[in-house]
Structure 1
Amino acid sequence: MIKGIYEAHLPIKDLTRSMAFYEKLGLKFAWRDDETAFFWIEEGKSWLGLWEGEEHKISYHPSLQHIAFQVDYEDMKNSLNWLESLDIEAVPFGSRTSVEPFVRPHQGNASIYFKDPDGNSLELMSFVDVPEKWKSVSDKKSIEEWDEIIANQYP
């Protein structure tokens, strides 16, 4: 029945500023009115709604102000450079101090985090093939560590 996400929404303070930010990320503008704008994440499949209003003042919580955009693993390897080329600063996740992309073997994904102009949490995320013996490992691994693990797994 469910085939994917149709739409997600974020609260923002300044629609014009936020529209420029999401266009810089490469999202395609779909439409806008006085207080909202929509951008295609996957054209014809899923989009992101930006809602200008006082709600942007709500204290951050990932259930309210977080979006993860799917990318290929090969793109994940270059994600920090890509964000820097757009003058977007990556931020550490949780208790991590590094902003570098990392792999969660037990979840089968890799991530890097950054914020939009209103402090909404944004993430680039990719699926990662995980060998069976690593599927219960919850320690986060840097991309470099993970690639070395995989290279040594399949020499």
Structure 2
Amino acid sequence: MKLGCFSISLAVKDLKKSKVFYEKLGFEVFAGEESHGFLIMKHGDTNIGLFQGMFEKNILTFNPGWDQNAKSVDAFDDVRQLLEQFKSKGIEIAENSITGDRGPSSFAIIDPDGNPILIDQHV
């Protein structure tokens, strides 16, 4: 099962303060815009998303079709395939936003401790 690029999406209270904090740890802005309420910070192969006002809890995020640099990969498991694999294993789907037969789509599950996991395909 190829889940793709991994990052943690943090629900932050103050985007500017969080940005400064993570920069002190060696992270740099990789993507996003403060004016849109989110930044993707990168340090080596580690990605952290900072999101202000978009969701309540921190979210583990996987992006099928992307490597750790948000570059498309040739071989990956489409989000629709992953959804069916998860269902076949008895994993409850918390949110299903799958559209169409291919391309961008997403779904979410919740781990046993209540942590949201987003499978979010952009390609």
TM-score (norm 2): 0.38
Which of the two has greater strand per residue? 2
What is the TM-score of this pair, normalised by structure 1? 0.31
Greater length-normalized contact order (CA 8 Å, ≥ 6 residues apart): 2
Q: Which has the larger radius of gyration?
A: 1
